[in-house]
Structure 1
Amino acid sequence: MLVVGLTGGIGSGKSAASAQFELLGRPIIDADIVAREVVEPGEAALKKIVEQFGPQMLSENGKLDRASLRETVFSDSKSREWLEQLLHPIIRNRIMEKIESYQGSAPFAILASPLLLETDQHKMVDHIIVVDVPESLQIKRVISRDKNNKEQVQRIMEAQLSRQNRLELADTIIDNSSDLENLENQIKLLDIKLRELAVNEYRT
């Protein structure tokens, strides 16, 4: 089975692109969802996060307070490195389990991950798609969506791979600076290409 990595900087529209593949019936493994699963109450990773950063990392219902964690790790590089060393191997193992579950049932599966290229997750895929928009549009979209201020968005962007480096590593680039219809058309054409690639080179 062909494993296709789908990534993009924050605010690029990676989730919208992933949703289009899902509408076409393609299996989606969302690394963001996996990342949330591994820090649910009762998970060992959540306990270690609280031990490291304190009980303020928990909300009243005992779940991870993501806003507090985000503020902590994006304002201190050592804290971010600690968190990445904890979570990335756990997330990778969960993703591998999900990929294995689709073997033999689909020509290709999508691994949608904002950190595909920043972590070793790119080693798990056969083809890399980068959803791309200008950085000014990234900032505008994230401020509108998440109500973050410009400085917070820029810190997150700085923690990710640069736009230029992402584009250099891409096998396919999707330009998402236009509207949803344009994105849908690009995904439909790319879906045909990926199915052909899977049939020719990665038979299930």
Structure 2
Amino acid sequence: MRRVGLTGGIGCGKSRVAGLFASLGVPVLDADRITRELQEPGHELHAEIVRHFGPGLLDTRGRLDRGALRARVFAHPKERQALEALVHPAVHAELERRLRDLPDANGYALIVVPLLFEAGWEHEFDPVIVVDCEPEEQLERVTHRDGRTPAEVQAIMDCQLSPDERRRRGDRVITNNRTTTDEDLRRQVSDLHNQLRAVTGNG
């Protein structure tokens, strides 16, 4: 089954776009969701993170304090690299396992990977779709959505590729700016879905 990657900066609307593909019957896997699952107690990834970063990052239920972990790795780039070295292989292996079990109804599956280019996974997907919006819009959406300060959101954005670089490296772009209506977004997704189905012989 063809593997189509979906990526974009924080707050660009990847989940919304993925949901529209799913509404068209496309199997969707989300690397962020898998990451959260694998970081729960009882999984090997959880144990590896605790071994590296220490039990001080656990809450009273034995779960990772994601806020504390996020603050730590964004303050120390080497710690962020260490975390990614643990997370990326585990998530990649789980994605592979789940891909084998997906139905092949549409000829392709959509895999949402926020740090797709940063992880060096672009060659595993054809094509790579980039959800794009203006940085100012990203900042506004995430501060409103997550209750983070603009400085916290900007720190996350600074660790990601620039919008220009993502557009350059992507194969297709879905625009989701403040002027993009729901109808516009649905049309972009539908058009791209039809193109992908035609290429895979399911049109």
Residues of 2 paired with 1:46 and 1:157: CA distance? 25
Asked if structure 2 preserves the Cα contact closer than 8 Å seen for 1:5 and 1:113, the reply is yes
Q: How does 1:33-44 map to 2 (within 5 A)?
A: 33-44=33-44
Distance 1:125 1:100 in 2: 15
* Equivalent in the alignment of 2:184: 182
Deviations 1:135-169 (A, max 9, x none): 01000000000111111111111111121110001
Question: 1:28·1:111 contact (CA, 8 Å) conserved in 2?
Answer: yes
Of stretches 48-57 and 188-197 in structure 1, the one that deviates more from structure 2 is 48-57
Alignment match, 1:145? 145
Question: For 2:142, what is the secondary structure of its paired residue?
Answer: helix
Q: Render the CA deviation track for 1:20-54: whole Å, top value 9, x for unaligned.
A: 00111100010011111221101122122222222
Alignment gaps of 5+ in structure 2: none
- Which residue pairs with 1:30 in the alignment? 30
Alpha-carbon deviation of 1:181?
A: 2.4
SS, match of residue 6 in structure 1: strand
- Whether contact under 8 Å (1:8, 1:166) holds in the other structure is yes
- Which amino acid letter does the alignment assign opposite residue 181 of structure 1? E
Distance in 2, Cα, partners of 1:188 & 1:106 = 13
Q: Deviations over 1:58-113 (max 9, x none)?
A: 12222221111111111110100100111111111111111222264441100011
- Tell me if the contact between 1:92 and 1:121 (Cα under 8 Å) persists in the aligned partners: no
CA–CA separation in structure 1 for the residues paired with 2:91 and 2:75: 23
Q: Distance in 2 between matches of 1:147 and 1:123?
A: 35
Distance in 2, matches of 1:56 and 1:185, equals: 48
TM-score with structure 2 length normalisation?
0.93
Offset of 1:133 from its aligned partner?
A: 0.3
- In angstroms, what is the RMSD of aligned CA positions? 1.4
Q: Which range moves more in the overlay, 173-182 or 136-145?
A: 173-182
Instruction: Tell me the residue number matched to 1:20.
Output: 20
> CA 1:104–1:14 in structure 2 vs 1: closer, same or farther (change >3 Å)?
closer
Partner of 1:156: 156
Query: Counterpart of 2:113?
Result: 113
Pick aligned residue for 1:193 from 195, 198, 201 = 195
Q: Percent identity?
A: 38
Tell me the CA shift for residue 185 of structure 1.
Answer: 1.5
Number of aligned residue pairs: 200
Residues in 1 aligned to 2:103 and 2:117: alpha-carbon distance in whole angstroms? 23
| TM-score of the two chains, using structure 1 as the length reference | 0.93
Q: Which amino acid letter does the alignment assign opposite residue 80 of structure 1?
A: R
What are the within-5 Å matches in structure 2 for residues 46-65 of structure 1? 46-65=46-65
Residues 29 and 95 of structure 1 are in contact (CA less than 8 Å); yes or no, is this contact kept in structure 2? yes
Unaligned 5+ residue runs, structure 1? Answer: none
Give the residue type in structure 1 aligned to 2:190. Answer: K
